[in-house]
């Protein structure tokens, strides 16, 4: 019941603020779901949430970028599937957090006009990473925010990219033998409440001033990045 309620609020957070819902849900699932099931179950729930968000904002999706992302996502998922459990998760968390901090607050002109091959590379890297520890939404969002400063186009394309990434990840886990069937009732209910949260969040998005949106977005990314670094360092210290 807790996860069903949280799915609503995290989906609303993601679409209204721009980031954070998926990571927040993943963090809570770490306390309530067996470790082996966290990433695949989280991926299917996030697939449902992001498909709803992309559908609501579909007129603003950059479809060419989405196609390029898919080209990279497929091999990224394959390699990531092979590497699951083989890499130190604390190191990856700390490195990703540091990267998000750097790219959020420093100016990188080359990212302002990322090319289609750049989206393919992003698809490969982030899909590889999401196979291992689940939440790469902040990474994708940082890259896309530099390319699409207009928030509706940014939100729509981010939702489409994340939908695609979670679909590829889900297929990869299914091919690897993960049993989704016992989790389907919980997944379905969380997707429904997540879609409701997406609808609420979309209305909040359209009523939020542009400058306020950008500030909230950067603050949320910074908090998430600092927490990733903290958990990564703590994990290495106890390792």
pLDDT tens readout for residues 132-165: 777 777 778 878 877 887 888 888 998 899 999 9
Q: What is the pLDDT of residues 49-75, one digit of tens each?
A: 788 778 888 899 999 999 999 999 999
Whole-number pLDDT of residue 110: 46
Q: At what angle do helices 2-17 and 210-238 cross, to 10 degrees?
A: 130
Note down the domain range covering 215: 2-238
The C-alpha atoms of residue 139 and residue 98 are separated, in whole angstroms, by 11
**Whether 230 contacts 43, CB under 8 Å:** no
Q: How far is CA 106 from the centre of its chain?
A: 21
Whole-number pLDDT of residue 239: 65
pLDDT greater than 70 at residue 215: yes
The C-alpha atoms of residue 239 and residue 233 are separated, in whole angstroms, by 10
The domain tally of the chain equals: 1
Q: What is the pLDDT of residues 33-48, one digit of tens each?
A: 887 788 899 899 888 8
* pLDDT higher at 169 or 211: 169
């Amino acid at each position: 019941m807790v996860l069903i309620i949280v799915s609503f609020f995290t989906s609303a957070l993601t679409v209204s603020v721009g980031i954070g819902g998926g990571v927040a849900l993943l963090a809570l699932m770490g306390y309530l779901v067996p470790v082996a099931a966290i990433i695949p179950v989280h991926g299917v729930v996030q697939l449902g949430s992001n498909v709803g968000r992309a559908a609501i904002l579909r007129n603003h999706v950059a479809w060419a970028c989405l196609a390029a992302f898919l080209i990279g996502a497929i091999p990224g998922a394959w390699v990531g599937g092979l590497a699951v459990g083989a890499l130190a998760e604390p190191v990856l968390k700390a490195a990703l957090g540091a990267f998000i901090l750097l790219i959020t607050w420093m100016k990188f002109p080359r990212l302002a006009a990322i090319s289609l091959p750049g989206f393919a590379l992003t698809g490969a890297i982030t899909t590889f990473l999401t196979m291992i520890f689940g939440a790469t939404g902040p990474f994708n969002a940082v890259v896309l925010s530099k390319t699409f400063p207009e928030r509706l186009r940014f939100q729509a394309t981010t939702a489409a990219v994340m939908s695609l990434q979670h679909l590829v990840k889900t297929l990869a886990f299914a091919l690897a033998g993960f049993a989704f069937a016992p989790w389907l009732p919980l997944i379905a209910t969380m997707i429904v409440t997540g879609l409701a949260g997406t609808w609420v969040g979309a209305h909040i998005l359209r009523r939020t001033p542009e400058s306020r949106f950008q500030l909230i977005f950067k603050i949320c990314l910074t908090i998430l990045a600092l927490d990733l670094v903290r958990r990564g360092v703590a994990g290495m210290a106890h390792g």
